[in-house]
Copies of this chain bind each other. A is one copy, B any other.
Amino acid sequence: MTRIYNFSAGPAMLPEAVLRQAQDEMLDWQGSGMSVMEMSHRGKEFMSIAEQAEADLRQLMAIPDNYKVLFLQGGASSQFAMVPMNLLRGKQGADYVNTGSWSKKAIAEAKRYCQLNLAATTEDSTFTRAPAQSELKLDPDAAYVHYTPNETIGGVEFNYIPDTGDVPLVADMSSTILSRPMDVSKFGVIYAGSQKNIGPAGLTVVIVRDDLIGQTLDGTPTMFDYAAHAEAGSMYNTPPTYAWYLAGLVFAHLKQQGGLEAMAQINRNKAMKLYAAIDNSDFYANPVEPESRSWMNVPFTLANAELDAEFLKQASARGLQTLKGHRSVGGMRASIYNAMPEAGVDALIEFMAEFERKHG
């Protein structure tokens, strides 16, 4: 068996140690005689798994006690509707910041439920930067402010947490959660699809401040009501138990690695290496302004786009896979989430240099 370096934007690599533990426990979790997949979600075995996962996530992210952690289904795409359905609370309008593809999806869905104020957009600079705090035109009467801390497709990341005063800040943190410490107390809601830094697809983690739970728009499906899930400890209905278990293994693994401070050092180092390799070359280019570059998703182009297919072919032959850029932007994209080893980034840099020598 040869494991590849998989630069997929999500679903993405998982820590090998986590996969090995899941493999070992597949038919018999800790002497229970059952796979985790086979456990009643209300049985003592799964309850212990669920509680440990939440406790570890709370510790990793230092989540304050006045926040609920929900383990839901439906991805960030469901949150695009759940956020206005739960957070408008009698208000009409909400502020949205547009920094690229995922912001736009959140905005399109929110417009169906609220008067949307575009607090900032970097579309005029083709989404190659995050706006500065001073550029945000915030409405003090908005129900909330929504932004996308990391744009998975554009590779643009905020290097600060916006200050929104008393207006709750809502973040689609799908592609940057757990990559470094974040002050949760500055947010009203953090949500994240699991398939990048948390675990397998099919789980959505929502961290929501208590006072924002309990007032939904008329017609909100019960499954889209944060209160239904909060009151039931994320067991209003059968949760995605196996994905929850895998997430718990990832959380425990991150704690073993030294927690989010340690991950931040590793992630910064991996990203800086890769950007340096790109910047030190006339053959590769990344369009994003240096202070807004993502640690997680590194898009880059070749000087000659006709070489793209050859680049991907040779990379794949070396076990460097899923490097093709998103169809909306072309070129390449290396997603280097927590589970991408530094050795994978090194191997990519080495290959890039070699390819440039041959074809540059």
Contact = CB atoms under 8 A, between A and B. Distances in A.
Contacts of A19: 26-27, 35, 37
Interface string A231-256: 00000111111110010000000000
Q: Considering residues A14, A33, A35, which has the most beta carbons from chain B within 10 angstroms of its beta carbon?
A: A35
Given A19-B35, A38-B11, A74-B74, A43 B242 contact: no
A113 B202 contact: no
A51 interface: no
A98 interface: no
Contact of A43 (B8, B217, B224): B8
Nearest to A223: B78
B11 A237 contact: no
Q: Considering residues A1, A27, A38, which has the most beta carbons from chain B within 10 angstroms of its beta carbon?
A: A38
Contacts of A32: 4
Given A14-B35, A219-B219, A221-B81, A8 B201 contact: no
Contacts of A26: 19-20, 22-23, 26
A28 interface: yes
A109 B319 CA distance: 50
A293 to B, nearest CB: 23
Given A26-B26, A38-B11, A221-B109, A75 B202 contact: no
A11 B37 CA distance: 7
Contacts of A88: none
A78 B73 CA distance: 10
B16 A34 contact: no
A76 interface: yes
A297 to B, nearest CB: 13
Q: Do most interface residues of chain A lie in helix, strand or loop, or is the interface mixed? A: loop
A185 interface: no
Interface string A54-93: 0000000000000000000111111011100100000000
B33 A3 contact: yes
A245 to B, nearest CB: 10
Contacts of A246: 37
A8 B241 contact: no
A222 to B, nearest CB: 6
A11 B26 CA distance: 15
A39 interface: yes
A38 B198 CA distance: 12
5 contacts: A6-B38, A9-B40, A11-B241, A12-B38, A37-B246
Interface of A: 1-4, 6, 8-14, 16, 19-20, 22-23, 26-28, 32-35, 37-41, 43, 73-78, 80-82, 85, 109, 112-113, 193, 195, 199-203, 217, 219, 221-224, 236-243, 246, 319, 321-322
Given A200-B241, A202-B242, 10 more contacts: A3-B28, A3-B34, A22-B26, A23-B26, A74-B74, A74-B78, A74-B223, A75-B237, A77-B237, A193-B237
Q: Nearest 3 CB-CB pairs, A to B?
A: A202-B240, A4-B33, A81-B221
